A and B are shown apart, each in its own frame.
Chain A
Amino acid sequence: MMQSGIAAPASLFRSTVAEFLKFYAFRIPQIAYVSIVAFLVLFVFQLFLAERLLAHLGPATVNEVIPYLFYASWKSILFHVFIIAFSAYCVAVDSQYGMIRIGCTQPVSRAQYLLGKSIAIELHVALFALVYVASIFIWVCICTEFRGLSFPGLLALSSLAVRTVVFCVGLSGCMIGVSILRKTLLDAFVSCCVLFVGFGLLLTLPPEFHLRPVLFLRYFLYPIAGILPKGWPIQFPMKDAPFWQFLLVSMVTPTVCLIPAFVRFHFRDISE
């Protein structure tokens, strides 16, 4: 599938924009933004009202409290399940309803069609992650009455946001790769869940296994490390790994999932 050098980026841009705005037409992002804020309310009630976290911590600053709310909501993996479901849905919906026939007869190559879709989904996931971190920040600010808000504190918050976005986009990329190989929504969602569980099972590899630093889910709590206060009682694996290592693993893992999916999609017959 040859294209001129100028036409190819333009086609990719068009494909990305069309896919990105299409998901807004689905109203999924709008509902997700509201849902993320609402979902955090549950943890806010639990931590600040039921467990009286601030009474235990004393006069804690915003940045000292954020890790508690982030940790409580993050480890519930509800947000991750949403990302998995969103990625699987957005890819497999085309095959499920036959829209893949329409998409593949538009003037873009199959690679551009898939790449545009993947970028659009990951942009949405990045926005979800930012909304998630922003919601945590706002809730904590409200509960702590903006105590100790400072510029270094905001920098640490930015670090948390960037790491969260990188992790979520990486996770989404893996799920997109798996979903491209499936033809129905149910198949895609089940396959994504199996992959996620598979990633989790890799964590049980023995310590002698020297590839442990490249296991994506070992970085599950890496985002929080950028904002952890001193004396945090729990130790996380890979907490002190350099950011480039985390970034590399978060990029390579989805790439490994995406490349075979792209190759297969390029050569396969669109029969659905």
Chain B
Amino acid sequence: MKRLALPLCLAIGIVGSGARAEEGLVVPPVEHVATLKECGACHLAFPPQMLPARSWRKLMADLANHFGESAVLPQATRAEIAAYLAANAGDAAISKHGRLFMRGIDATQTPLRITQTPFWQAAHEEVAAAAFLSDAVKTPSNCAACHRAAAKGVFGESEEE
């Protein structure tokens, strides 16, 4: 029952929180097909704006050791996704929200986790560490556990807890 109840809440959440969502952080949703398919197979296809291009390049260069797993891709797919991520990265010219996420990242740093960035850490300062490790969330990289509409680029204040 629990598993069914959850998507139900989710549906209501999206419909009901339209106004609220506009108050929160909204980034362009990831629409790049290969990125959605390949990155999204294991986790939210994270918005490229949230890391600098050098981070995406480094990350995509070592998919055999991707945060403790192999996430290898055929070379052409890997290159296509890497190019998309770099072109839309936080420090890319066309990035709309990049400046916000790049705040506090030194030019000499290449963060590989969005959760390591000063913006992310400041935004989640008030969230108890235990909440991230709960069964429902499991890890801070599980954005959508709290930001129900994360896949649509909506990262407003969570309605839960």
**Physical interaction between A and B:** no
- On A, residues with C-beta under 8 Å from B are none
